[in-house]
């Protein structure tokens, strides 16, 4: 039998003015199990807390009810006071007689009557409370960053800086990501490679960082603090430890007709290649789809020219298991495919390019060596039309591949492109067709205004309706909504600001991580305002554009934020778990697995266990078990379970039913 | 302590999720927004913690109305709890209606932590509706009558 | 004005278009082949219907300059479907005239089966005005 | 013997109902019959028997034994029993009348169950002889004569008349108070008895014999046939709840929130919590539970009651078992193994 | 049919492919067949039966039988195959231990009115076997059933009429638990209604509330998992149309969350352990039908 103490707070006049606190304390005395009941001026005061501590000792209380303000205010205070008095902190219940009683009811008899019901309900609940102890689980002090773009690199560097080991898994042969393909960055116009490559080198040289390039995550097990990740190291056919990155093989390889993905197919590379000069790791990779040796067994040139003997045609995919305490998703973005927009003639004319392709055409390391030339005839374009919002901001039921969201970065990089074009080639006419120009960022609007005012870029409010390749030109038909005219421009090039979307690998990765995604395949954050870099799945963090469209400064900021969250986690030796978690009664569980399906955290697993039957035989049965370190205590499983095998500590079926009974009495 | 006059006062049980609706109810209090004392709130971690048996239990024990409040769809603290609650309660309430229990006695409302006014207004309108219906006679357990 | 005014709601109901979906990008007008012929251009059509400015549209010859080629419908990123609005105003206009200019005999014997039904009907309306 | 024309039967019922409650089998609108309190418009059913047995009158499914009131920290015990009023049950068949004897042997021997006794004392049973037994009937197996049911009075429906004779003082007191004409012309009754006896002899289960298993008690207990018989038993309580002789009960307390109500309710030996004790139940498997039910009816009960079987052959379990397992199948199998 | 089935069962036993055969055993009359396990050919020849009174859904017994050693052959009617799939999805049947033989079914007769088809067969939803290792006879198609007609009729009544209807039906309940025990979806280790610790158990149904509670929760617990096999109504000794409760849930699920047939495939995520962001709001209950 519990020995319950009830403490009724006056809260000055906040409660006492409308609730007869003495009557409430007196009524509580008559409830079964109550051995002490009193009212007090301010329960949250030092002396109020002392009263709790003293009465626990004096009356050997096993549970207490504090009738006061909302538990959201002072539950913690009273739990701590109870703990100081030698009581388990989970043996405390709060009856909210201020926010949910005295403050909303004007008339004393009815407010007092309600307060008594609320107290009864709390007494009924605390009678069924059980002491709970928060469990702990150890933390593996190593983090995994999935994706080696600027987001992943920055996160890894920051984590490593704090002294923790961190691995980067990158699916491409080199880290660097999208930023490596970009020429200049807005709004400062510094060279992307100049600021990115030092970071890549830093990551490569940091002894806390391991880079698994040309690798993918193929399985994730475990939970926060204790993940086991299987990394698939794709066969590179080049021994990483032997290759010196001299690049001789990439020059001698006879297979020259491989579209170069780094330059978005604007030129070709060999079947054995190093993506770009500053690649990290600088190791050659054989493309098995094109290598004649791998396909037909005839060639072997690279092997012959390699003095280091690094070529290994027999290589196989390798799988390694590594333990991590935290995982950061930094899978980034890609521009959408724009082939479906027939009106822009992207598929019809090579001179219609996406912005990222334009970026490569402007880049000194790009296919044209930095000279802006039309892809079709390698001549200098004189009229360039930029089209904004291609595939962004489309209605949800759009039949094309458009996105309903604003891609955020296009306004700025288009301004950058227009500006750089005008700067390098003042003889070109540059038109930008926009719906809205969105420049909320530090020095962003000034940058856009510079493009218009200083560089004379023609910004036209309106959309391009049609692009027709005709006689070596691109006939652009567009509307100028402000002039109320339809424009016809003979352009040499058209640049489409294609919407961006999450990388295709993000969705399967989210499934592996049991992290949730929105309908656009962006990772969902744990809270859109207050926990923007955490996924709802404990131990999984988000960095960069995989969470939503972002520019570089934002990505770097978020990468640092994610890193700090990871550091905060890894700095702990043990994680203290919320003890109010679900637990499965194995005697009742019938293994139907319904609960597993509703758990948003993947906290429920199934295993066969041996049970002794009443007739003394044994039986193997499938039963659920809850990982207390992962469970967040929502209770979805408890209702899904038809046999009541699943219950929630602190909010058990019996406790809630006792509250219902007390209220309806 | 019943009211002295004989006018019928309903018993209302409100299940409120800890993160949104319970906070919304607190805000209603902080803003001194009135609603009838007939409403008694039970705090649950999430609307998905509300088992249909709790709802039936409340009616059996003499409640005249049961309302479940949770975070707005999409805002669940646990990401998906209220979506499950929404399906469960829709089906349960539809079943109660099918069995001839007055459908106005049950309700689900999404109340955020910022919606103190909505909470008070919801409770006012629910109490009014249930008061009009009168005592729950179709789903009460006569054994529990005093 | 006339005794049976056509109101915004009528047009929205007949066309099934939600003009509020328009984000004023002007792609409909950019794409319109009859742009120069028209007094009011497709994006203005949408805007005017949204503002309830129907009479001006009814009175305007633009109404019958629209080719019903549906380029605007195809290209609109927000699926506003301006051509349906034009067609709705046309049919409302004809209804107000109290008779239908269409006659079944007028339909040529051979038709391209791929022509959308609506294009055919609107073409008849247009040329029989 | 009293006699009245069937057209006057409702007037006859009305007369009884003037003084006390009267229950008769009436159609339930679902193709069966159930005991219904007679009121104007309630018609006597033609069905062979009611779906539920007549034991409910004396041994209801639930009854409130006692209440406890919790007042602050004190507990008060309240006798919640209401004085039973006199009532009459009309139309009980021979098998069900016989079942009352079996219930009596349990509840009216020391220690006497006062709740049961109270109901029994206040109830008057008017039985009705069978005239159209069904294929599931096998009361003859247990020596019950469906044409001569016991009770406080016995009725026959023959031709267009209802014949009725008193068998006990209670019965004769009731009948004599009703002012019905007496008659000596009972030829129609005997003619009908003869006809019914012929029908009884031709029933598909007419040849079923109740063997004396008591001598081979252990053989019966250990017979391997139980495994096969109980194999697909679902462990539901439908056989026990429709059975007129099943008399096991459980006692359950119900917390009303302001007191405790103690109920007695039917229990079923098929249930997992039957005879549940602190250490568990003595019969863990469905085989054991199943065996217990039939051993009780066919072996243990006769052993303790001068060879009277615990089954009256009403055939309800033959109709209602979800898997069509029943006492007849058990008797046949058991008969073969104990030969 | 019966002859072919006996021959095939005997063959499976003698070849050692299976150790036991789950089928129906002939009773005293033509209409009281009992589900039974056969282990030898002579027993099969003498007692195996398949006629229009083999309503019992054998998949329920596989929960126990497939847990034993060896392989069990089972005869499954089309509607039983749905339960079979559903039980596999819930890990209640060890598929490897079962050899499933689909058998053609033309509808089962009502034991109470032997000229008529059972209600569930008259409104049969599917003659298609959704799972089997081999087939005897023919597998049919998913039918355009009128099984929701009565539910709709009830929905169109007034609230008072519905209340009266269900009081009339449920008041006959004797809480024998046959509906629960026969149900292939009710395979909990211990039912909450048998578990004194659950807070919902009450053996003494002394108030109509208990009947409501039991039947609402019973139907709710199988909602989204119930294949509408109709066993609950078949076995009710009081002939309560319990399937009308289950079908109400099925109808609501179909209307609100898209057509769903439990057991049509294995491993599907049932409608109550699933959601979409655009699901109907609970207020839909107030906005439709009769009040």
Same domain for E129 and E155?
Answer: no
Interface contact B143-D254, CB threshold 8 A: yes
Q: How far apart are CA E211 and CA B94, in angstroms?
A: 18
Dihedral (CA of A503, A509, A510, A513) sign: negative
Name the C residues in 14-43 with CB < 8 Å from any A CB.
Answer: 21, 23-32, 35-36, 41, 43
User: At the top level of CATH, which class does the domain A582-649 belong to?
Assistant: alpha beta
- Residue B3 covered by a domain: no
CB atoms within 10 A of CB D206: 14
Does residue B61 belong to the interface with chain D, where contact is any CB pair within 8 Å?
yes
Query: How crowded is the C-beta side of A203, counted as CA atoms within 13 Å?
Result: 33
The partner residue sitting opposite B29, judged by closest CB among A98, A121, A527, is A98
Q: Give percent above pLDDT 70 in chain B.
A: 96
Q: pTM, whole model, 2 decimals?
A: 0.77
Domain A235-316, architecture per CATH: 2-Layer Sandwich (3.30)
Domain containing E79 equals 2-136
Q: Which residues of chain A are in CATH 3.40.50 domains?
A: 4-127
Tell me if A463 and C78 make a contact (CB, 8 A cut-off).
no
The tens digit of pLDDT for each residue in D258-297 reads: 889 999 999 999 998 899 888 888 898 999 999 999 999 9
Measured between beta carbons, which residues in chain E are less than 8 angstroms from residue D62? 204-206
E239 contacts D234? CB cut-off 8 A: no
Closest-CA distance, B145 to chain D, in angstroms, reads 8
D70-99 confidence digits (pLDDT tens): 776 688 999 988 888 999 999 999 999 999
| Domain parsing of chain C, residue ranges | 8-127
Say whether E189 and A643 touch across the interface (CB within 8 A): yes
What's the rounded Cα separation, in Å, for the pair A561 and A533?
7
B127 interfacial to chain E (CB closer than 8 Å): no
Contacts of A78 (CB under 8 A, 6+ apart): A43, A44, A49, A52, A64, A66, A68, A92, A94
CB within 8 Å: B74 and E277: yes
Instruction: Flag whether pLDDT at A278 surpasses 70.
Output: yes
Long-range pairs of A298-307 with CB within 8 A, sequence gap ≥ 24: A299/A254, A299/A255, A301/A249, A301/A252, A301/A253, A301/A254, A302/A249, A302/A252, A302/A253, A302/A272, A305/A248, A305/A249, A305/A252, A306/A243, A306/A248, A306/A249, A307/A246, A307/A248
* Residue numbers in chain E where pLDDT is lower than 50: 291
Nearest-CA neighbor of E241 among E165, E158, E164, E163?
E165
What is the DSSP pairing of strand D153-158 with strand B106-110? Answer: unpaired
Q: Is residue B96 part of a domain?
A: yes
Task: Name A598's Cβ contacts closer than 8 Å, sequence gap at least 6.
Answer: A636, A637, A640, B48, B80, B84, E273
Contact A112 B22 (CB under 8 A): no
pLDDT at residue C65 tops 90:
no
Report the CATH number of the A4-127 domain: 3.40.50
| CB atoms inside a 10 Å sphere around CB A633 | 24
Residues E44 and E159 in one domain: no
Q: How many CB pairs under 8 A join A and E?
A: 57
Residue B17 covered by a domain = yes
**Selection from D339, D331, D333, D95 nearest residue D209 by Cα:** D331
E188·A588 Cβ contact <8 A: yes
pLDDT one-digit tens code per residue, A345-390:
999 999 999 999 999 999 999 999 989 999 999 999 999 999 999 9
CA-to-CA dists, residue D57 to A225, D83, D120, E138, angstroms: 67, 15, 8, 52
Domain with CATH 3.30.70.3270 in chain A: 582-649
- Evaluate whether chains B and A are touching (3 or more beta carbon pairs less than 8 Å apart): yes
Report the pLDDT averaged over residues A17-31. Answer: 95
Give the pLDDT confidence score for residue B1 in this predicted structure.
39
Count of CA atoms in the C-beta half-sphere (13 A) of A191: 9
Touching chains, A (3+ CB pairs < 8 A): B, C, D, E
Condensed to tens digits (0 to 9), the pLDDT of residues A242-259 reads 999 999 999 999 999 999
Q: Looking at residue C126, what is its pLDDT?
A: 64
Average pLDDT over residues B76-98: 93
- Predicted ipTM of the assembly: 0.84
Give the pLDDT confidence of A76-133 residue by residue, as tens digits.
999 999 999 999 999 999 999 999 999 999 999 999 999 999 999 999 999 999 999 9
Residue B69 lies in a domain: yes
What is the reported pLDDT for D238? 95
Where among E80, E107, E136 does a domain terminate? Answer: E136
What is residue A144's three-state secondary structure? Answer: strand
Region label for A147, one of left (φ > 0), alpha (ψ between -120 and 50) or beta (otherwise):
left
Task: State the Cα–Cα distance between residues A619 and A622, nearest whole angstrom.
Answer: 10
Q: Is the pLDDT of residue C107 over 80?
A: no
d(CA A365, CA A360): 8
Give the separation between CA E66 and CA E106, rounded to whole angstroms.
Answer: 27
Q: Looking at the predicted structure, is the pLDDT value of residue A281 above 60? A: yes
Rounded to 5 degrees, φ, ψ at D245 are: -110, -10
pLDDT one-digit tens code per residue, E5-28: 999 999 999 999 999 999 999 999
Residue of A87, A65, A72, A60 lying closest to A3 (CA atoms): A60
Surface of B (65-104) touching E: CB under 8 A: 73-74, 80, 83-84, 86-104
Stretch A622-644: mean pLDDT: 92
| Residue D282, helix vs strand vs coil | coil
pLDDT band at D113 (very low <50, low <70, confident <90, very high): very high
pLDDT tens figures, D300-323: 999 999 999 999 999 999 999 999
Q: Is the pLDDT of residue B5 over 60?
A: no
A476-483 LR contacts (CB < 8 Å, sep 24+): A476/A385, A476/A431, A477/C30, A477/C31, A478/A385, A478/A433, A478/C30, A479/C26, A479/C27, A479/C29, A479/C30, A479/C35, A479/C41, A479/C43, A481/C24, A481/C26, A481/C29, A481/C43
| Predicted local distance difference test score (pLDDT) of residue C3 | 45
Q: Looking at the domain assignment, is residue B77 inside a domain?
A: yes
Q: Which CATH class is domain C8-127?
A: mainly alpha
**Mean pLDDT computed over A256-271:** 94
Averaged confidence pLDDT in chain B? 91
Buried b (16+ CB within 10 A) or exposed e, B74-104: ebbbbbbbbbbbbbbbbbbbbbbbbbbbbbb
| Topology of the domain comprising A336-501 | FAD/NAD(P)-binding domain (3.50.50)
CB-CB neighbors (< 8 A) of A486 in chain C: 29-30, 32, 35-36, 41
pLDDT digits (tens, 9 = 90+) for C72-89: 998 899 989 999 999 888
User: Of all helices (H) and strands (E), which one includes residue B13?
Assistant: strand B12-17
Taking an 8 Å cut-off on Cβ atoms, the answer to whether A615 and D285 are in contact is: yes
**Measured CA distances, A566 to A195, A534, A536, E34, E144 (Å):** 25, 10, 14, 63, 57
3-state class of A494 per DSSP?
strand
Residue from the list A395, A465, A484 with its beta carbon closest to the beta carbon of C27: A465
**Out of E167, E209, E219, closest to residue B140 by CB:** E209
The closest alpha carbon to B134, from B38, B54, B65, B34, belongs to B65
CA-atom Rg of chain A in angstroms: 33
Domain spans, chain D: 2-201, 214-338
Chains D and C touch (3+ CB pairs under 8 A): no
pLDDT in tens, A326-351: 999 999 999 999 998 989 999 999 99
Is the model more confident about A51 or about A517? A51
pLDDT at A635 over 50: yes
Residue E282 and residue E155 share a domain = yes
H-assigned helices in D81-216: 94-107, 114-122, 169-176, 187-201
Query: How far D311 CA lies from chain E's nearest CA (Å)?
Result: 18
pLDDT at B3: 45
At residue A452, φ and ψ (nearest 5 deg) are -75, -50
Count: domains in chain E:
2
Average pLDDT, chain A: 93
Q: Check: CB of residue C96 under 8 Å from CB of residue C83.
A: no
As separate numbers, helices (DSSP H) first and strands (DSSP E) second, chain D gives 12, 11
SS (H, E, C) A595-622: HHHHCCCCCEEEEEEEEECCCCCEEEEE
Residues E191 and E73 occupy one common structural domain: no
Q: D285: which chain A residues are within 8 Å (Cβ-Cβ)?
A: 615
Q: What pLDDT digit, counting tens, does each position of A397-443 carry?
A: 766 778 999 999 999 999 999 999 999 999 999 999 999 999 999 99
Residue B4 has pLDDT above 50, yes or no: no
Element (H, E) at D2: strand D2-5
How many domains would you assign to chain B? 1
Chain D contact for A614 (CB, 8 A cutoff) = yes
Beta carbons of B26 and A111 less than 8 Å apart: no
In chain A, % of residues over pLDDT 90: 86
CB-nearest to B146 from D254, D258, D261 is D258
- Give buried/exposed letters for D145-175 (b at 16+ CB in 10 A, else e): bbbebbbbbbbbbbeebbbbbbbeebbeebb
pLDDT band per the 50, 70, 90 thresholds, residue D217: confident
Fold of A135-234+317-332+524-575: FAD/NAD(P)-binding domain (3.50.50)
Is residue A548 predicted with pLDDT exceeding 50? yes
Q: CB–CB of B37 and A639 under 8 A?
A: no
Please indicate whether, in this complex, the C-beta atoms of B84 and A639 are within 8 angstroms of each other.
yes
**Closest CB from A389, A464, A486 relative to C35:** A486
Please name the residue of chain D whose CA is at the shortest distance from the CA of residue E232.
Answer: D322
Separation between Cα atoms, residue A562 and residue A330, nearest integer Å: 10
pLDDT value for B78 = 85
In-domain check, residue B129? yes
Does B83 fall in a domain?
yes
CA distance C29 to A480: 9
Q: Which of A105, A635, A653 sits opposite B46 (nearest CB)?
A: A635
Q: Put the strands of the sheet holding A429-434 in their side by side order.
A: A352-354, A493-498, A383-390, A429-434, A458-461
Q: Look at residue E202 in the predicted model and tell me its pLDDT.
A: 83
Strand bridging mode A493-498 / A352-354? parallel
- List helix spans (H) across chain E: 2-15, 41-47, 59-65, 78-89, 119-122, 149-155, 159-170, 178-182, 208-222, 231-235, 243-257, 284-287
C-alpha span between C91 and C105 (Å, rounded):
20
- Residue B146 maps to a domain: no
Q: Of B78-87, B117-126, D68-77, D95-104, which gets the smallest average pLDDT?
A: D68-77
Rounded to 5°, angle at Cα E124 from E123 and E128: 165
Q: Which residues pair with D261 in a beta bridge?
A: D67, D254
Q: What is the pLDDT of residues D162-178, one digit of tens each?
A: 999 999 999 999 999 98
DSSP summary character for residue D67:
E
Instruction: Using the predicted structure, report yes or no on whether residue A237 has a pLDDT greater than 90.
Output: yes
Q: Do A656 and B88 touch (CB under 8 A)?
A: no
| pLDDT value of position C1 | 39
The alpha carbon of residue A565 is apart from the nearest alpha carbon of chain B, in Å, by 19
Q: How confident is the model at residue C110 (pLDDT cuts 50, 70, 90)?
A: low
- C-alpha A389, offset from chain centre: 25
SS3 D9: helix
pLDDT band at A628 (very low <50, low <70, confident <90, very high): confident
pLDDT at A367: 93
Please give the residue range of the domain that contains residue B49: 12-138
Determine, for residues B51 and A580 on separate chains, whether the beta-carbon distance falls below 8 Å. no
Q: Which distant-in-sequence residues (6+ apart) come within 8 Å of E64 by Cβ?
A: none
Q: Do chains E and D touch (3 or more CB pairs under 8 A)?
A: yes
The string of DSSP letters for E65-128 reads: HTTSSS-EEEEE-HHHHHHHHHHHHTT-S-GGGEEEEEE----PBPSSSTTSBPHHHHT--B--
CA-based nearest residue to E117, from E106, E104, E131, E125: E106
The 10s digit of each residue's pLDDT in A505-547 is 998 998 888 787 887 999 988 777 788 999 878 899 999 999 9
CA A662, CA B58: separation in Å to the nearest integer?
A: 10
């Amino acid at each position: 039998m519990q020995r319950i103490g009830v403490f009724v707070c006056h809260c000055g006049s906040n409660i006492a003015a409308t609730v007869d606190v003495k009557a409430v304390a007196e009524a509580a005395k008559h409830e079964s199990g109550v051995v002490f009941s009193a009212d007090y001026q301010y329960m949250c005061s030092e002396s109020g807390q002392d009263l709790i501590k003293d009465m626990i000792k004096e009356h050997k209380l096993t549970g207490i009810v504090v009738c006061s303000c909302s538990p959201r205010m002072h539950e913690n205070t009273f739990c701590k006071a109870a703990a100081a008095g030698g009581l388990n902190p989970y043996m405390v219940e709060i009856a909210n007689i201020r926010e949910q009683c005295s403050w909303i009811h004007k008339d004393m008899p009815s407010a007092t009557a309600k307060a008594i019901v609320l107290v009864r309900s709390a007494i009924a609940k605390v009678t069924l409370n059980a002491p709970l102890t928060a469990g702990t689980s150890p933390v593996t002090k190593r983090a995994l960053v999935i994706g080696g773009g600027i987001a992943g690199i920055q996160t890894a560097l920051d984590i490593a800086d704090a002294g923790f080991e961190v691995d980067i898994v990158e699916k491409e042969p080199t880290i660097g990501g999208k930023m490596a393909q970009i020429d200049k960055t807005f709004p400062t116009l510094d060279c992307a490679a100049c600021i990115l490559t030092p970071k890549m080198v830093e990551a490569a040289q940091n002894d806390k960082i391991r880079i698994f390039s040309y690798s993918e995550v193929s399985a994730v097990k475990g939970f926060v603090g204790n993940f086991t990740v299987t990394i698939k190291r794709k066969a590179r056919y080049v021994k990483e430890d032997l290759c010196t990155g001299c690049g001789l093989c990439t020059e001698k390889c006879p297979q020259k007709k491989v579209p170069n993905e780094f330059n978005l197919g604007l030129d070709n590379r060999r079947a054995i290649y190093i993506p770009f000069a500053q690649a990290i790791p600088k190791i050659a990779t054989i493309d098995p789809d094109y290598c004649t040796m791998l396909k037909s067994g005839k060639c072997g040139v690279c092997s012959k020219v390699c003095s280091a003997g690094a070529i290994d045609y027999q290589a196989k995919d390798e799988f390694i298991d590594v333990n991590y305490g935290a995982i950061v998703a930094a899978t980034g973005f890609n521009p959408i495919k724009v082939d479906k927009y027939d009106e822009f003639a992207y598929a019809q004319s090579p001179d219609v390019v996406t912005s990222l392709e334009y970026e490569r055409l402007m880049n000194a390391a790009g296919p044209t060596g930095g000279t802006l030339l039309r892809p079709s005839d390698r001549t200098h374009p004189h009229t360039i039309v930029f089209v904004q919002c291609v595939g962004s901001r489309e209605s949800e039921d759009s039949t094309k591949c458009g996105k309903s969201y604003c891609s955020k970065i296009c306004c700025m990089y288009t301004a950058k492109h227009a500006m750089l074009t005008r700067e390098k080639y003042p003889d070109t006419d540059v038109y930008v067709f926009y719906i809205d120009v969105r420049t909320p960022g530090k020095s962003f609007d000034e940058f856009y205004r510079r493009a218009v005012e200083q560089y004379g870029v023609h910004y036209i409010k309106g959309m391009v309706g049609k692009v027709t390749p005709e006689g070596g030109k691109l006939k652009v038909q567009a509307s100028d909504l402000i002039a109320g005219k339809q424009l016809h421009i003979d352009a040499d090039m058209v640049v489409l600001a294609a919407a961006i979307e999450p990388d295709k690998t993000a969705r399967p990765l989210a499934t592996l991580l049991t992290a949730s995604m929105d309908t656009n395949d962006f990772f969902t954050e744990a809270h859109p305002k207050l926990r923007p870099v955490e996924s709802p799945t404990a131990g999984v963090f988000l960095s960069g554009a995989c969470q939503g469209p972002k520019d570089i400064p934002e990505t770097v900021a978020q990468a640092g934020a994610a890193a700090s969250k990871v550091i905060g986690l890894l700095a702990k030796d043990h994680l203290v778990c919320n003890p109010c978690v679900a637990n499965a009664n194995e005697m009742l569980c019938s293994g139907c697995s319904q609960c597993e399906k509703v758990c948003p955290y993947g906290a429920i697993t199934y295993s066969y266990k041996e049970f002794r039957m009443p007739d003394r035989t044994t039986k193997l049965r499938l039963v659920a078990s809850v990982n207390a370190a992962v469970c967040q205590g929502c209770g979805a499983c408890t209702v899904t379970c038809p046999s009541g095998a699943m219950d929630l500590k602190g909010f058990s079926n019996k406790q809630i039913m006792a509250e219902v009974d007390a209220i309806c009495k | 302590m019943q009211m002295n006059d004989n006018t019928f006062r309903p018993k209302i049980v409100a299940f409120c999720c800890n993160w949104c609706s319970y906070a919304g109810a607190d805000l209603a209090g902080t803003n001194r927004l009135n609603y009838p004392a007939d409403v008694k709130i039970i705090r649950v971690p999430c609307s998905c913690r509300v088992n249909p048996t709790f709802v039936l239990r409340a009616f059996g024990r003499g409640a005249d109305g049961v309302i479940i409040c949770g975070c707005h769809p999409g805002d669940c603290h646990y990401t998906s709890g209220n979506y499950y609650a929404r399906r469960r309660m829709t089906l349960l309430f539809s079943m109660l209606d099918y069995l001839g229990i007055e459908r106005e006695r049950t309700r689900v409302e999404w109340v955020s932590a910022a919606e103190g006014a909505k909470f008070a207004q919801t409770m006012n309108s629910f109490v009014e509706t249930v008061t009009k219906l009168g005592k729950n006679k179709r789903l009460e357990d006569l054994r529990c009558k005093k | 004005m006339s005794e049976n005014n056509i109101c915004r709601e009528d047009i929205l109901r007949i066309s099934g278009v939600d003009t509020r979906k328009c984000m004023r990008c002007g792609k409909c007008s950019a794409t319109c082949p009859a742009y120069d012929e028209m007094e009011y251009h497709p994006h203005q059509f949408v805007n005017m219907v949204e503002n309830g400015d129907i009479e001006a549209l009814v009175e305007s010859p633009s109404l019958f300059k629209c080719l019903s080629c549906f380029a605007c419908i195809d290209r609109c990123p927000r699926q506003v479907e301006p051509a349906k609005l034009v067609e709705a105003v046309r049919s409302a206009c004809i209804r107000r005239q109290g008779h239908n200019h269409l006659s079944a005999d007028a339909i040529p014997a051979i038709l391209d089966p791929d022509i959308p039904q609506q294009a055919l009907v609107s073409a008849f309306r247009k040329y029989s005005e | 013997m009293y006699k009245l024309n069937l057209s006057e039967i409702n007037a006859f019922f009305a007369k009884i109902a003037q003084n006390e409650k009267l229950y008769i089998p009436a159609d339930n609108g679902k193709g069966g019959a159930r005991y219904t309190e007679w009121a104007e418009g309630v018609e006597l059913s033609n069905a062979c028997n009611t779906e539920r047995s007549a034991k409910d009158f004396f041994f209801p499914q639930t009854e409130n034994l006692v209440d406890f009131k919790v007042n602050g920290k004190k507990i008060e015990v309240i006798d919640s029993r209401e004085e039973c009023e006199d009532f009459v049950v009309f139309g009980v068949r021979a098998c069900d009348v016989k079942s009352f004897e079996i219930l009596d042997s349990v509840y009216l021997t020391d220690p006497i169950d006062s709740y049961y006794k109270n109901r029994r004392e206040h109830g008057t049973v008017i039985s009705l002889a069978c005239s159209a037994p069904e294929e599931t009937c096998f009361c003859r197996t247990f020596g019950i004569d469906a044409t001569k049911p016991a009770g406080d009075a016995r009725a026959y429906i023959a031709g267009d008349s209802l014949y009725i004779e008193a068998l006990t003082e209670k019965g004769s007191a009731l009948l004599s108070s009703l002012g019905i004409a007496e008659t000596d012309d009972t030829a129609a009754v005997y003619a009908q008895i003869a006809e019914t006896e012929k029908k009884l002899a031709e029933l598909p289960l007419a040849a079923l014999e109740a063997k004396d298993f008591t001598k081979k008690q252990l053989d019966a207990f250990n017979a391997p046939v139980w495994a096969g018989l109980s194999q697909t038993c679902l462990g539901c309580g439908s056989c026990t709840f429709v059975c007129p002789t099943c008399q096991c009960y459980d006692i359950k307390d119900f917390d009303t929130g302001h007191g405790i109500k103690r109920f007695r309710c039917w229990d079923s030996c098929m249930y997992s919590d039957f005879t549940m004790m602190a250490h568990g139940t003595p019969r863990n498997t469905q085989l054991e539970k199943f065996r217990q039910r039939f051993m009780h009816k066919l072996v243990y009960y006769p052993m303790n009651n001068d060879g009277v079987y615990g089954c009256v052959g009403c055939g309800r379990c033959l109709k209602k078992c979800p898997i069509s397992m029943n006492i007849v199948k058990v008797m046949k199998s058991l008969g073969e193994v104990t030969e | 049919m019966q002859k072919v089935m006996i021959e095939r069962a005997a063959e499976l036993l003698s070849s050692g492919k299976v150790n036991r055969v789950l089928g129906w055993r002939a009773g005293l009359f033509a209409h009281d067949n009992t589900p039974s396990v056969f282990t030898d050919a002579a027993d099969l020849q003498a007692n195996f039966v398949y006629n229009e009174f083999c309503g019992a859904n054998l998949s329920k017994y596989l929960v126990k039988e497939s847990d034993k050693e060896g392989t069990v052959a089972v005869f499954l009617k089309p509607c039983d195959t749905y339960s079979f799939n559903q039980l596999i999805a819930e890990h209640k049947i060890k598929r490897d231990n079962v050899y499933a033989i689909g058998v053609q079914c033309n509808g089962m007769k009502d034991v109470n009115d032997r000229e008529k088809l059972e209600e569930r067969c008259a409104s049969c939803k599917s003659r298609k076997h959704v799972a089997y290792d081999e087939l005897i006879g023919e597998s049919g198609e998913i039918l355009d059933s009128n099984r929701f007609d009565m539910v709709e009729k009830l929905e169109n009544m007034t609230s008072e009429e519905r209340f009266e209807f269900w009081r009339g039906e449920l008041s006959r309940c004797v809480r024998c638990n046959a509906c629960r025990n026969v149900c292939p979806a009710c395979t909990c280790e211990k039912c909450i209604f048998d578990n004194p610790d659950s807070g919902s158990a009450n053996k003494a149904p002394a108030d109509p509330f208990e009947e409501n509670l039991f039947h609402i929760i019973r139907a709710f617990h199988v909602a989204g998992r119930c294949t509408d096999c109709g066993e609950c109504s078949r076995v009710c000794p009081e002939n309560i149309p319990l399937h009308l409760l289950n079908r109400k849930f099925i109808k609501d699920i179909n209307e609100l969350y898209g057509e769903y047939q439990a057991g049509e495939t294995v491993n599907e995520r049932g409608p109550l352990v699933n959601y979409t962001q655009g699901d109907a709001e609970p207020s839909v209950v107030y906005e439709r039908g009769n009040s």
